[in-house]
Amino acid sequence: MEVVNTVSALKALVAPLKNAGKKIALVPTMGALHNGHISLIESALVLADTVICSIFVNPTQFTDPKDLERYPRPLQKDLNMLIGAGCNILFMPDVQEMYPEPEQWYIDLGETEFLLEGAFRKGHYQGVTQIVKKLFDAATPDVALFGQKDYQQVLMIRKMTATFNMPIEIVSCPIIRERDGLAMSSRNIHLSETDRKHALILSRALQYVQANFRKKPIAELLEHAQSFFRNVAGLELEYFTIADGETLQPVTDDAGANVVALVAARVGTTRLIDNMILS
């Protein structure tokens, strides 16, 4: 695996590959890799000739400075995992290169930006689209892969690429879970033993809704799913919604296809998200 730290070094590697007609895939990450990330690399290897993984903990998408400060950065382990997975190129730019000057960035991502994650992490999707645009410009991929775990993120990135007419296929990959159902996340490392038990409530509530969708009214599903989170010390529900998979607006009982249940909760000091597609 080639490791490059600058945009110019990345472009120098990628240009001859593109000239030779090779298909390039990009898997953007913030590091602290787990099997969810590795599944993206594996899917990328199927879709493309060369797979680039980026590791960059992007300051502009963090709304909580403590969250940024304590974001895990186990570099050696990440390198070993990427080599084991067969990744071809690791791009690890530094903050100074990605943001040489403080810059203005605003793009219209539509109303969906302000719902769910966007409501709890103000400006988050401006920061995400800002860095993903820079990563796309640097890597010039044909295809980029993201996890369904960050469901709303995939919608926002599709909107951004459409805005800039970027000819990049955006692929959403299934959520990889621990054996007991907890969605893998770099932030799981912060969970205490008690938090780890409470964290399971997110996937359990989603599973309940998935198993009972169209069997019970939406209001009843929501009430019961939300009740899973009540009176659990150290567990704080931020949202649980059953929404249209494109607009993320809440659906009613006559909803057709493309419905998703999404949840976010604080478990101890850690904020977790998860979702399941219902139809």
Ligand X SMILES: Nc1ncnc2c1ncn2[C@@H]1O[C@H](COP(=O)(O)OP(=O)(O)OP(=O)(O)O)[C@@H](O)[C@H]1O
Active-site residue set: 37
Beta bridge partners of 207: none
Radius of gyration of the chain (CA): 19
Q: Which 88-147 positions form the footprint of ligand BAL (CB under 6 A)? A: none
Contact between 150 and ligand X per CB under 6 A: yes
Quote the CA–CA distance of 268 and 213 in Å, as a whole number.
Answer: 30
Draw the binding track, 121-140, toward ligand PAF (x: CB under 6 A; -: no contact).
Answer: -------x--xx--------
Q: Is 30 in the site for ligand PAF (CB under 6 A)?
A: yes
Which residue number places its CB atom closest to ligand PAF?
28
Instruction: Please tell me the distance from the alpha carbon of residue 30 to that of residue 214, in angstroms, as a whole number.
Output: 37
Task: Report, in Å, the least distance between residue 154 CB and ligand PAF.
Answer: 9
Please give the annotated binding residues for beta-alanine, written as ranges. 61
Nearer to ligand PAF, 61 or 241 (CB): 61
* Structure tokens given for 235: 């567990």
131 near ligand X (CB under 6 A): no
The answer to whether 150 contacts ligand BAL (rule: CB under 6 A) is yes
Q: Does 61 bind ligand BAL (CB under 6 A)?
A: yes
Bridging pattern class, strands 235-244 and 24-29: unpaired
Look at the chain and count its residues: 279
54 binds ligand BAL (CB under 6 A): no
For strands 169-173 and 143-147, give the pairing: parallel
156 binds ligand PAF (CB under 6 A): no
Strand runs (DSSP E) across the chain, as ranges? 2-4, 24-29, 50-55, 89-91, 143-147, 169-173, 235-244, 259-267, 270-277
Judged by CB under 6 A, the residue of 107, 176, 200, 259 near ligand X is 176
Q: Which residues bind ligand BAL (CB under 6 A)?
A: 61, 150
